[in-house]
Amino acid sequence: MDPRRLLPILVGLTVLAVLGTAALVALRRSSVEPAPWPVAATGDGPRAVLAGWDSRRARAWADGDVEGLRDLYVPGSRTGRADVRMLTSYVDRGLTVQGLETQVLALAVVDVSTQVVDVRVTDRVSGAEAVDGRTVIPLPDDRPSTRRVVLRLVEGEWLVDEVRE
């Protein structure tokens, strides 16, 4: 057989091998677990959504704004009811909580879409002080804990649905 006749066959086999390898790599990548969302990530994304929500929550606590805090949760959220009860107990005693800072130590994306951000987060609360206008009472720093937080986009705002241990 003339070797020149083998050239198109060899080229065809090479192209098929390259395409097959590319397809296998693509399949492998699509079946790999999603990597944890980088804690230092900035801009849009799960980390930014959670940070924005934490900031609004800290503002509500600092202002003693029970309704504002309630508005940060999906209606009917058990987590929201518990948070509102806690803030209400502070407000009823004439206290607000200043300096509430949530430190995110680790964050992994469980699910993310245009309507839902579901993350597993390890964080702790620190720097908070109960203030009554005259007295400042430093509150103990929280110990790191890991929870699953589900946020939903409702009328253009990210609201917490539930937080699970």
CATH at residue 84: 3.10.450.50
- Tell me: the pLDDT tens digits for 123-140? 999 999 999 988 999 999
Q: Do 21 and 100 fall within a single domain?
A: no
Q: By residue range, what is the domain housing residue 71?
A: 34-164
- Tell me: the pLDDT tens digits for 141-165? 999 999 999 999 999 999 999 999 8
Higher local confidence (pLDDT), 36 or 46? 46
Q: Do 104 and 139 fall within a single domain?
A: yes
DSSP state of 77: -
Q: CB neighbours (10 Å) of residue 80?
A: 21
